[in-house]
């Protein structure tokens, strides 16, 4: 592989203008096509084979698309002055209802002046609009049009807010400030690491081309597969981080080789042959980890996984093609625009080597101290609160949160997460008050935690009935999960009962995640360890690296628990407590973590953590193969990679922290978790724990049974044989 990469890097360096032009044209074309054609997104959280999915299918078949998820839009009305039953206001609302009935694809509009449509205060009401034949991919635009049609009610002084959680404009994730902040912070870190503006701009430009290309592909894929609305942001977050990091590793190696006296094109060739191999293996581990999410049994999680993987693929491709092209074009000008007092050689390398030597002299003490610190960081993870996340945790002032608060105030907290109970009957019935149906309604109403049961609705055949049950609890309240399970346990002879709705779907998602999590974790760990085994031909190193990545995950989940579950810092990341909350409630505002988030966070973090492991191990292995002194090799490896890994980690942390500003709770969760894990991984784990364990293991690090050595293919992560000088002369980022 190193020979192929070397030839590829050399060709790109010689034909830099062609490679640069091709990448710019590809990025512009993909993004231009995506913007011109639109970028449809889907918020489909269905899970095949679950009870909630069965309820969804029965609603679709028996009652029409207007009763299925995506077919209903609710508009919340609020009278700040007077009542909704006042004649002028009622007349305006009825005019709005008539305008809504005239909108395209609308098949039914339920007036608020129906049973259950008005709150007891008569100041809050619900208009329910049911549609058929519309494009679910453009539900946001449809909701805005319906909201606009209700302007007569606004003209009468009423507040009208769309209550559909998945569609308001304020929920659409747009790119902008976070990306800019992340790129600026990354540029500052690169300038500090390299000391020259020209070298710092190479990783930035490469990552931007990579991200734009990846987003263009993802946008166009929206016409072929369901793309979640968070996919673009997740891809941007991961793509920026790994894109800049991979280009950083290559650029730093190239500049060291230039200093040794190699010609530009030969330096580029050796850089791609050596560090390029590490980039490919590191990217491969991220892609393997994300691909394992295909086994999660959750379509949303599966799609988020492989779509995020697209950004990693483009980052690897640009790193091994565009970076050598830019380095070839720049030549020795890569060191141009030097910043005074930055990028000086000597102290940085000796400092990291000194740390490695210090760890090598006292490995047991360092090991025990590191384990204690990591255990303390991971301990809060025991308090991690997993559960549904409702719109009450949205940004203050957003339409979705305003609608949530109005519904909760008027109809109770459970009004934001009604349960759709769909049952098939043993024989057709002619009326909704049939004894079997009445018994079913009574038993649902008798379930603890059910606040209200709406009148039953029969389908045209009389073989299916739909009953809406409103819990006493908010969708994010774990007690609502108990209500779902208790209703599902109702037994009426001959009746097959299913519970659907948002809360029920999230209950099923949690159950599916609990069922599949061991499988996904096992596959990720085993495949990543296998990839490291192929790269280094060292079983002990491969297993140890996988275990070290699991350790960094503990710190990430501990941080998540402190910030979100305990609530210590949730306000700082933009998760605002409800109006009227006490001072302590504002400080310790607890936010649940969606059930599928820990599994995806595990996959992403495991892959990203492996990046630094690959680069550190390759350097240690090169040193060990030169002189055979394990402790010395660990010190030299840490000295050679310490600064570049630290710079890469700072860039990652800066990018992830910048994305915490996004309004979407999922993005905030990933921003906090990823930033915490990378910070711990690049400092405590790579700086202390990994070197200490490698010193203690000694020659076992690189031991491989002869039978296994014969079976393994001869792959090489870094072409150490091509180094023109000992590692001690080619270390650090200059």
DSSP per position, 496-517: EEEEESHHHHHHHHHHHHHHHH
Same domain, 668 and 600: yes
Same domain, 182 and 159: no
Distance CA 328, CA 251 (A): 11
Percent of the chain with pLDDT over 70: 89
Asked if pLDDT for residue 66 goes beyond 50, the answer is yes
What domain range includes position 179?
2-38+173-330+349-388+509-727
> Positive or negative, the Cα torsion across 656, 657, 659, 663?
positive
Per-residue pLDDT at 170: 39
Per-residue pLDDT at 69: 67
By the 8 A CB rule, do 60 and 68 touch? yes
Per-residue pLDDT at 644: 83
Name the one residue in this structure whose structure tokens are 């999680």: 301
Copy the structure tokens of residue 449.
């935690």
How many other C-beta atoms lie within 10 A of the C-beta of residue 347? 10
Q: Tell which of 140, 163, 186 closes a domain.
A: 163
Instruction: State the DSSP code for 228.
Output: B
Copy the structure tokens of residue 337.
């625009």
Helix (H) / strand (E) containing 127 = strand 124-131
**Within a domain: 543:** yes
Same domain, 232 and 373: yes
Per-residue pLDDT at 519: 87
Same domain, 322 and 196: yes
| Among 270, 254, 248, 253, residue whose Cα is nearest residue 332 | 254
| pLDDT-based confidence at residue 324 (cuts at 50, 70, 90) | very high
256-302 tens-digit pLDDT: 888 888 888 898 998 888 888 888 888 888 888 888 888 877 777 78
CATH code, domain with 144: 3.30.70.100
By the 8 A CB rule, do 644 and 193 touch? yes
List, as one string, the DSSP characters of 417-431: S-EEEEEE-SS--SS
**Within a domain: 50:** no
In this structure, the strands spanning 457-458 and 106-110 are unpaired
Same domain, 210 and 295: yes
389-422 tens-digit pLDDT: 777 777 777 788 888 889 988 888 888 888 999 9
Helix (H) / strand (E) containing 355 = helix 347-361
| pLDDT-based confidence at residue 488 (cuts at 50, 70, 90) | very high
Average pLDDT over residues 473-477: 86
Query: Of 21-35, 58-72, 101-115, which gets the smallest average pLDDT?
Result: 58-72
How far from 657 is each of 167, 304, 500, 610, 662, CA to CA, in Å? 26, 20, 36, 20, 10
Q: Report the number of distinct structural domains present in the chain.
A: 2
Query: Of 411-425, 543-557, 682-696, which gets the smallest average pLDDT?
Result: 543-557
By the 8 A CB rule, do 583 and 515 touch? no
**Within a domain: 544:** yes
Same domain, 113 and 219: no
**Within a domain: 443:** no
Per-residue pLDDT at 624: 83
Copy the structure tokens of residue 495.
């009746």
Asked if pLDDT for residue 45 goes beyond 70, the answer is no
Same domain, 252 and 270: yes
How far from 161 is each of 84, 113, 141, 596, CA to CA, in Å? 15, 17, 14, 29
625-669 tens-digit pLDDT: 888 888 888 888 888 888 888 888 888 888 888 888 777 777 888
Which residues, 6 or more positions from 22, have their beta carbon under 8 angstroms from its beta carbon? none
Residues of the chain by 3-state class (helix, strand, coil), percent to 5 = 65, 10, 25
593-603 tens-digit pLDDT: 887 788 888 88
Asked if pLDDT for residue 529 goes beyond 80, the answer is yes
| Among 27, 350, 63, residue whose Cα is nearest residue 207 | 27
Angle (nearest 5°) at CA 406 between 663 and 40: 40
**Within a domain: 488:** no
Query: Of 235-244, 612-621, 725-734, which gets the smallest average pLDDT?
Result: 725-734
Helix (H) / strand (E) containing 458 = strand 457-458
Helix (H) / strand (E) containing 183 = helix 177-194
**Within a domain: 406:** no
By the 8 A CB rule, do 502 and 46 touch? no
Establish how many alpha carbons lie within 13 A of residue 606's alpha carbon, considering only the half-sphere containing its beta carbon.
Answer: 28
Q: Tell which of 113, 143, 163 closes a domain.
A: 163
Angle (nearest 5°) at CA 477 between 114 and 575: 100
Query: Of 160-174, 219-233, 358-372, which gets the smallest average pLDDT?
Result: 160-174
Query: Of 65-69, 533-537, 682-686, which gets the smallest average pLDDT?
Result: 65-69
Same domain, 709 and 587: yes
Per-residue pLDDT at 583: 56
Per-residue pLDDT at 20: 94
Copy the structure tokens of residue 570.
């949730």
Q: Backbone phi, then psi, for 53, in 5-degree steps?
A: -65, -40
**Within a domain: 240:** yes
**Within a domain: 287:** yes
Chain centroid offset of residue 493 CA: 45
303-317 tens-digit pLDDT: 888 888 899 999 999
Same domain, 561 and 686: yes
Asked if pLDDT for residue 321 goes beyond 90, the answer is yes
Distance CA 90, CA 112 (A): 10
Per-residue pLDDT at 99: 94
| pLDDT-based confidence at residue 579 (cuts at 50, 70, 90) | low
Q: Backbone phi, then psi, for 262, in 5-degree steps?
A: -70, 150
Q: Backbone phi, then psi, for 477, in 5-degree steps?
A: -75, 125
335-351 tens-digit pLDDT: 888 877 655 444 445 56
By the 8 A CB rule, do 39 and 226 touch? no
Same domain, 645 and 678: yes
By the 8 A CB rule, do 197 and 334 touch? no
Instruction: State the DSSP code for 49.
Output: T
Q: Tell which of 115, 140, 163 closes a domain.
A: 163
Per-residue pLDDT at 245: 87
Same domain, 549 and 691: yes
Per-residue pLDDT at 587: 62
Per-residue pLDDT at 44: 57
Same domain, 573 and 695: yes
């Amino acid at each position: 592989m190193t020979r192929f990469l070397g030839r590829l890097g050399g060709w790109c360096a010689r034909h830099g203008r062609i490679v640069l032009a091709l990448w710019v044209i590809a990025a512009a074309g993909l993004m231009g096509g995506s913007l011109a054609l639109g970028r449809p997104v889907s918020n489909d959280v269905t899970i095949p084979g679950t009870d909630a999915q069965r309820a969804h299918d029965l609603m679709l078949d028996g009652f029409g698309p207007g009763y299925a998820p995506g077919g209903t839009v609710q508009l919340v009305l609020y009278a700040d002055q007077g009542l909704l039953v006042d004649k002028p206001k009622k007349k305006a609302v009825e005019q709005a209802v008539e305008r809504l009935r005239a909108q395209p694809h609308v098949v039914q509009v339920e007036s608020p002046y129906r049973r259950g449509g008005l709150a007891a205060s008569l100041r809050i009401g619900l208009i329910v609009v049911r549609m058929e034949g519309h494009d679910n991919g453009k539900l946001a635009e449809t909701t805005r049009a319906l909201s606009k049609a209700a302007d007569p009610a606004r003209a009468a002084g009423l507040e009208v807010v769309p209550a559909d959680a998945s569609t308001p404009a304020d929920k659409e994730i747009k790119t902008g400030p976070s990306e800019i902040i992340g790129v600026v912070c990354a540029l500052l870190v690169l300038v500090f690491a390299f000391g020259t503006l020209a070298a710092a701009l190479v990783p930035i430009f490469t990552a931007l081309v990579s991200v734009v290309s990846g987003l263009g592909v993802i946008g166009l894929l929206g016409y072929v597969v369901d793309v979640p609305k968070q996919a673009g942001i997740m891809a941007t977050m991961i793509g920026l981080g790994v894109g800049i990091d991979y280009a950083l590793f290559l650029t730093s190696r190239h500049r060291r080789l230039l200093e040794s006296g190699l010609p530009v094109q030969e330096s580029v060739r050796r850089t791609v042959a050596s560090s390029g191999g590490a980039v490919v293996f590191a990217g491969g581990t991220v892609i393997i980890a994300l691909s394992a999410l295909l086994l999660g049994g959750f379509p949303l999680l599966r799609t988020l996984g492989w779509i995020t993987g697209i950004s990693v693929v483009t980052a690897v491709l640009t790193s091994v093609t565009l970076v050598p092209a830019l380095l070839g074009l720049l030549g020795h000008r890569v060191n141009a625009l030097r910043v005074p007092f930055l990028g000086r050689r000597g102290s940085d390398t000796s400092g990291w080597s000194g740390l490695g030597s210090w760890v090598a002299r006292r490995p047991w003490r360092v090991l025990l101290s590191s384990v204690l610190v990591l255990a303390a960081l991971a301990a809060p993870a025991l308090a991690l609160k997993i559960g549904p996340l409702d719109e009450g945790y949205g940004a203050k002032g957003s339409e979705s949160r305003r609608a949530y608060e109005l519904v909760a105030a008027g109809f109770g907290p459970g009004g934001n997460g009604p349960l759709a109970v769909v049952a098939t009957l043993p024989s057709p019935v002619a009326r909704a008050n049939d004894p079997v149906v009445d018994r079913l309604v009574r038993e649902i109403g008798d379930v603890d935690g059910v606040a209200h049961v709406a009148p039953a609705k029969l389908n045209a055949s009389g073989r299916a009935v739909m009953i809406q049950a409103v819990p006493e609890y908010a969708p994010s309240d774990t007690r609502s999960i108990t209500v779902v399970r208790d209703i599902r346990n109702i037994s009426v002879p001959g009746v097959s009962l299913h519970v659907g709705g948002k809360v029920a779907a999230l209950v099923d998602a949690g159950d599916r995640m609990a069922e599949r999590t061991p499988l996904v974790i096992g596959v990720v760990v085993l495949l990543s360890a296998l990839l490291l085994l192929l790269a280094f031909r060292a079983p002990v190193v491969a297993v140890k690296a996988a275990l070290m990545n699991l350790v960094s995950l503990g710190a990430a989940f501990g941080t998540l628990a402190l910030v979100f579950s305990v609530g210590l810092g949730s306000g700082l990341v933009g998760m605002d407590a409800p109006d009227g909350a006490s001072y302590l409630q504002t400080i310790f505002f607890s936010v649940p973590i969606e059930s599928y988030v820990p599994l995806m966070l595990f996959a992403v973090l495991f892959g990203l953590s492996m990046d630094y492991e690959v680069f550190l191990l390759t350097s240690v292995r090169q040193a060990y193969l030169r002189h055979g002194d394990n402790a010395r090799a660990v010190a030299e490896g840490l000295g050679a990679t310490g600064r570049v890994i630290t710079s890469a980690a700072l860039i990652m942390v800066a990018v992830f922290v910048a994305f915490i500003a996004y309004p979407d709770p999922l993005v905030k969760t990933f921003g906090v978790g990823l930033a915490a894990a990378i910070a711990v991984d690049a400092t405590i784990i790579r700086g202390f724990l990994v070197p200490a364990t490698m010193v203690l293991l000694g020659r076992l690090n690189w031991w491989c049974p002869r039978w296994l050595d014969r079976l393994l293919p001869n792959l090489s992560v870094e072409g150490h044989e091509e180094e023109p000088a000992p590692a001690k002369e080619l270390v650090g980022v200059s």
